[in-house]
Amino acid sequence: MLIGDRALYIAPNGQQYSFAPPTFIIQEDGALGTAPIEYVTQRGPFQHGESVKAFFLRPRTIQVIVRRQGISRNDYHTLRAQIMNILAPNTIDGQLRPGIFRKYLSNGVVREYEVFVTEGPSFPSHPPDSWDEWSIRDTIRFTAYDPVARDPAIQGVQYTVPLSTGGTFPLTFPIQMASFGIAATAINYVGNWLSYPTIYITGPVFSPSIINQTTGEQIVLAYSIPMGFTVIIDLSYGQKSVVRNDGVSLIGYITNDSDLGTFHLAPGVNQIQVLGTGTSPGSTSILVQWYNRYLGAA
């Protein structure tokens, strides 16, 4: 671990467990670099070697060795209870949720992973009456089933209808009224791995569409969103949902030619266009939010 670096575990219920000197001694197994890669290959009947056809990122394991010194038996057991309470698996609203393993680098960069505690603490015992009898030194392993790191600062671009115009989308950002088919907003996505955004559409607007002209993907909602309602389209992998802010699912209104399963921001410039009719100046808006994602914590 580099001097000046520190780490933090944030449990699903918000409790925090800090890994930082001098209270803790931390060792890592190097698992915060590039994510593990698995290649898909095939070989023909007369082929020497194999041909690489695709690759996938495998889950990564993050291991830390922690140490904390107690001063009495009561102190020792209090420390054990605190650690177990924070690191225990948590459910929120009946759903098993990951925690966050966040790394603060000495150069000011912050990276985090969504993780589950998969081993430890086991609290191995020390010989009675030894100088180290009331200390805790243990290994904790976190598994990031999504092995891609992210910057915790959420990014976003908002599209609105100006009060001075009536209107239809598309709009560009900074805001300009435009007719259908004009060049879209250029979003410079600085991550080096694709990111699945969350889209907030506030009515009134009929049949809103979000098109990434760079990737050729689109999301089209064949639905009229009333004034005062917001539809949240969560495109996170494994979490695809289209829900109105009162809890009504609208996923059935996503058109068949939409790319609900794959819509993403690619590294570099993404040309994003927003379309829709029946809008209201000062009320209608579309917000696209995302995390910058990276292959590892450099």
pLDDT digits (tens, 9 = 90+) for 10-66: 999 888 888 766 555 555 555 778 888 999 999 999 999 999 999 999 999 988 877
% of the chain at pLDDT higher than 70: 83
Q: Check residue 94 and report its DSSP letter.
A: T
pLDDT reported for residue 128: 66
> 58 and 163 share a domain?
no
How large is the average pLDDT for residues 133-157? 88
Domain end among 84, 117, 147: 147
Over 60: is that where the pLDDT of 118 sits?
A: yes
Lowest mean pLDDT, pick from 19-23, 79-83, 220-224, 275-279 = 19-23
The mean per-residue pLDDT over the stretch 67-87 comes to 77
pLDDT of residue 64: 84
- The boundaries of the domain holding residue 93 are 6-147
Domain annotation covers residue 270: yes
In a domain? residue 247? yes
List alpha helices for the chain, DSSP H: 73-87
> Tokens representing 254?
């996503």
The H-assigned helical ranges of 18-158 are 73-87
Give the pLDDT band (50/70/90) at residue 173. Answer: very low
Domain identity same for 103 and 185: no
Q: How many domains does the chain have?
A: 2
Domain boundary residue, one of 117, 147, 177: 147
Instruction: Quote the pLDDT of residue 182.
Output: 34
Burial of 52 (0-12, 13-18, 19+ CB in 10 A): exposed
CATH of the domain at 32: 2.40.30.200
Alpha-carbon gap, residue 12 to 91, rounded angstroms: 7
Tokens of 79: 């420390």
Torsion angle of C-alpha atoms 206, 236, 269, 218, degrees rounded to 10? -40
Regarding whether 239 and 138 lie in a shared domain, the answer is no
Please tell me whether residues 43 and 119 are part of one structural domain.
yes
- Are residues 79 and 206 both part of a single domain? no
Closest CA to 167 of 157, 176, 156: 176
Q: Which residue has the tokens 């177990």?
A: 84
The four Cα atoms 276, 278, 282, 287 give a dihedral, to 10 degrees, of -30
